Amino acid sequence: MNLAPTYRRLIAFLLDSLVILILTAIVAYLFREHIDWTALAEAESIFNNGEIDFAYFLTLVYAASTSWTFILFACWLVFVIIYFIIIPIVWEKQTFGRMIEKIKVVKLNGTKLSFGTLFLREIVGKYILAFFSFGIVAIISVVLCFVANGHRSIHDRMSNTLMVCANKVTIATEEK
């Protein structure tokens, strides 16, 4: 079994995150007219003039950023689902970062990756658990990759997957 080194997994994740960030930044640029610039200017004026009506200030900032935040979050979520779930199903279990680092995700039992497996691994295991644990689950996952037997993170354990070197034989073939 040729496990993917943890440092390569981290580099691949950082590269993949950069791709998602760039795509989201492009959308942010394209939808910049949806920000209520007048409300932000009024909030800045109140803040700069020392007129401390903090509740009103927060209301203006919230009003200006609500639709903007929703658009960015929705686009980010769509990009994450397409990039981390759809693309690996189509591109031999890899994303752009994983291709660069020559690693891929495989099921422990050797079966084909499914949408459900990747959704559990990528969305639930990585993002939702990390969000609700304030990043603690993400830190534990990185530590597990370095010290645990098999170098499997929490999201790997949840979805019965493993990161292996892409140029090597898969687990199902090696077990036979």
- Rounded to an integer, what distance in angstroms lies between the CA atom of residue 176 and that of residue 174? 6
Give mean pLDDT, residues 27-55: 70
For the chain, give every domain's residue range: 6-175
Q: What percent of the chain is modeled with pLDDT above 90?
A: 53
Q: Which of 56-60, 91-95, 157-161 has the lowest mean pLDDT?
A: 56-60
CB proximity list for 74: less than 8 A, separation 6 or greater: none
Q: Is the pLDDT of residue 175 over 60?
A: no
Query: 45 versus 75: which is more confidently predicted?
Result: 75
CA distances from 59 to 37, 46, 120, 141 (A): 14, 12, 37, 38
pLDDT digits (tens, 9 = 90+) for 77-133: 999 999 999 999 988 889 999 999 999 999 999 888 999 999 999 999 999 999 999
Residues 119 and 131 sit within 8 Å (Cβ to Cβ):
no
pLDDT of 45 reads: 72
- Rounded to an integer, what distance in angstroms lies between the CA atom of residue 69 and that of residue 78? 14
φ, ψ for residue 105 (rounded to 5)?
Answer: -95, 135
Structure pTM? Answer: 0.76
